[in-house]
């Protein structure tokens, strides 16, 4: 009887281990770990902070949407902020598409403090989901790269879906990418990052249509993620583009019953006035030091010459985007691994292409940084790993506070340190992309060489039989 009990317990433990070793359990454990690390990183902010200054704009826009008021009129938002006794003297205008304000209009039913706490909790959960989605994308790319050579032998233990190093890098990037800044500002970036990473995970899993739908939500909240669809267009991934278009249509239609039709018209009217170098009512000048976008850099350089700022910004964005796509998509269809390598320069371009770029926007580098660190670990490139972490850490430093320590005014070229660091990251990303492309070319050449040798060996063999036949005759 005791032996039977031991066997029963052993069988139960073996079954439990097998279930916990399946991919969903690995990813669930990774989510709990990553979201828990994010909570530890921002717990003091979530518990203590009043209504954050950027969330104040979202909240007042949600209240305006629920009342049928103009969400893009900063005077309306200021009136609501005064009525609700919200902190911070300044109320920034709402700059996003109407979908976001109207879908979250139910926030207006909550007290501001409760809404802020719920928003912070949603941001942490979004970061955890984004981490899991990025892991799925990385695993898909790694599986494609390794192929059959990486498959375990019969009877061998299967590799885990999520490695310990990958989870450690997620936790490290929680601090390195300054998630605290996004939470402290009450920003929407973690939510956008979740849909962006979901689009990548679906895309690398071969599900183009859902990938387009996920990217449409990210671009529907914050316009610039639409840049990630440019490679789809050049690769003629029509299912992904169809999903993107269907997603945009769905966002528009979902917001209409909530009364967003006038807001969409107003948004389209104001869109040209929100572009590079333009001064937006209720918002500080684009040349203000905290703005380290290309538009902010050129505004400081050209003394607010709006036409010059627009031309210089657009030309620079096209150059950055063109170099990335030429290297990433040239030489045949890119592998998932090369596609992920293309993410770092592509996401840097996305960040600096916005008319307004601040420290909390660097968070969007997360999936590219996670893949680069994971690959550097596997290839034992310690110098590359250190350079990535150092540059990402520098990019998230709030340099305007450093500039304030200097009594004399600094030259305009010195006031864009964050931009310079991001451009160095862009260059490093291009180098790693070039190296990936060269490795793929070498691997395909190595595969083709034996086939050519076999073909060339067949001809002499067939021709050599004739002399021997003549001798025997």
Convert the pLDDT of each residue in 265-300 to its tens digit. Answer: 999 888 877 777 777 888 888 888 889 999 999 998
Contact 118, 109 (CB under 8 A): no
Token duo for residue 363: 């968070």
Predicted confidence at residue 380, as pLDDT, reads: 86
Contact 299, 286 (CB under 8 A): yes
CA proximity to 50, closest of 219, 185, 197: 185
Listed in sequence order, the residues at least 6 apart from 345 whose beta carbon sits closer than 8 Å to its beta carbon are: 320, 323, 324, 426, 429, 430, 433
Predicted confidence at residue 45, as pLDDT, reads: 77
Predicted confidence at residue 439, as pLDDT, reads: 84
Token duo for residue 456: 């060339």
Predicted confidence at residue 164, as pLDDT, reads: 81
Listed in sequence order, the residues at least 6 apart from 430 whose beta carbon sits closer than 8 Å to its beta carbon are: 323, 324, 327, 345
Contact 430, 335 (CB under 8 A): no
Q: How far apart are CA 425 and CA 433, in angstroms?
A: 12
Token duo for residue 410: 């600094």
Predicted confidence at residue 189, as pLDDT, reads: 94
Q: How far apart are CA 99 and CA 220, in angstroms?
A: 7
Predicted confidence at residue 157, as pLDDT, reads: 42
Token duo for residue 106: 């139910």
CA proximity to 369, closest of 395, 346, 383, 388: 388
Q: Between vectors from CA 374 to CA 368 and to CA 380, what angle results, nearest 5°?
A: 130
Contact 134, 200 (CB under 8 A): yes
With a cut of 50, list the residues of the chain below it in pLDDT.
Answer: 1, 5, 9, 12-13, 15-21, 147-159, 461-473
HSE on the CB side for 454, CA within 13 Å? 5
Q: Which long-range contacts (CB under 8 A, 24 or more apart) does 466-471 make?
A: none
Most distant CA pair in the chain, distance:
112
Number of other CB atoms surrounding residue 44 within 10 Å: 12
Predicted confidence at residue 13, as pLDDT, reads: 42
Q: What is the pTM of this model?
A: 0.86
Predicted confidence at residue 152, as pLDDT, reads: 37
pLDDT (tens digit per residue) in 250-269: 999 999 999 999 999 999 88
HSE on the CB side for 425, CA within 13 Å? 32
Predicted confidence at residue 468, as pLDDT, reads: 43
């Amino acid at each position: 009887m005791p032996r039977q009990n031991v066997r029963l317990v052993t069988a139960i433990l073996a079954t439990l281990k097998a279930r916990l070793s399946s991919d969903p359990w690995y990813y669930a454990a990774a989510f709990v770990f990553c979201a828990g690390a994010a909570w530890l990183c921002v717990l003091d902010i979530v518990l203590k902070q009043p209504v954050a200054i950027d969330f104040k704009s979202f909240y007042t826009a949600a209240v305006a949407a629920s009342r049928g008021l103009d969400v893009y009129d900063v005077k309306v938002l200021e009136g609501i902020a005064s009525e609700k006794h919200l902190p911070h003297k300044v109320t920034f205008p709402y700059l996003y598409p109407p979908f976001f304000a109207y879908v979250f209009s139910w926030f207006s039913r909550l007290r501001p403090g409760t809404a802020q706490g719920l928003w912070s909790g949603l941001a942490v959960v979004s970061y955890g989901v984004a981490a899991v989605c990025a892991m799925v994308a990385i695993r898909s790319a790694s599986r494609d790269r390794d192929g059959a050579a990486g498959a375990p032998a019969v009877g061998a233990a299967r590799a885990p879906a999520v490695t310990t190093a990958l989870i450690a890098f997620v936790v490290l990037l929680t601090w390195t990418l300054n998630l605290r800044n996004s939470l402290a500002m009450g920003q929407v970036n973690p939510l956008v990052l979740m849909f962006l990473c979901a689009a990548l995970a679906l895309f690398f899993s071969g599900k183009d249509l859902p990938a387009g739908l996920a990217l449409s939500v990210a671009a529907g909240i914050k316009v610039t993620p639409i840049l990630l669809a440019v490679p789809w267009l050049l690769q003629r991934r029509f299912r992904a583009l169809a999903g993107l278009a269907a997603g945009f249509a769905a966002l528009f239609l979902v917001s209409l019953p909530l009364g967003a039709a006038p807001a969409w018209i107003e948004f389209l009217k104001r869109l040209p006035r929100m572009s590079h170098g333009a001064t937006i009512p209720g918002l500080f000048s684009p040349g203000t030091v905290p703005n380290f976008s290309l538009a902010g850099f050129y505004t400081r350089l050209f003394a607010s010459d709006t036409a010059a700022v627009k031309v210089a910004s657009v030309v620079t964005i096209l150059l950055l985007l063109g170099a990335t796509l030429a290297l990433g998509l040239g030489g045949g269809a890119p592998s998932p691994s090369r596609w992920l390598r293309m993410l770092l320069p592509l996401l840097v371009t996305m960040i600096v292409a916005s008319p307004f770029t601040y420290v909390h926007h660097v968070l969007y580098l997360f999936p590219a940084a996670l893949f680069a660190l994971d690959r550097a670990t596997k290839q034992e490139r310690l110098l590359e790993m250190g350079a990535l972490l150092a540059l990402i850490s520098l990019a998230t430093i709030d340099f305007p506070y450093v500039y304030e320590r200097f009594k004399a005014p600094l030259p305009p070229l010195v006031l864009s340190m964050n931009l310079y660091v991001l451009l160095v990251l862009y260059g490093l990303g291009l180098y790693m992309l070039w190296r990936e492309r060269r490795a793929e070319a070498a691997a395909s050449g190595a595969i083709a060489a034996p086939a050519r040798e076999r073909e060339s060996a067949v001809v002499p063999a067939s021709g050599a039989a004739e002399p021997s036949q003549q001798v025997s005759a």
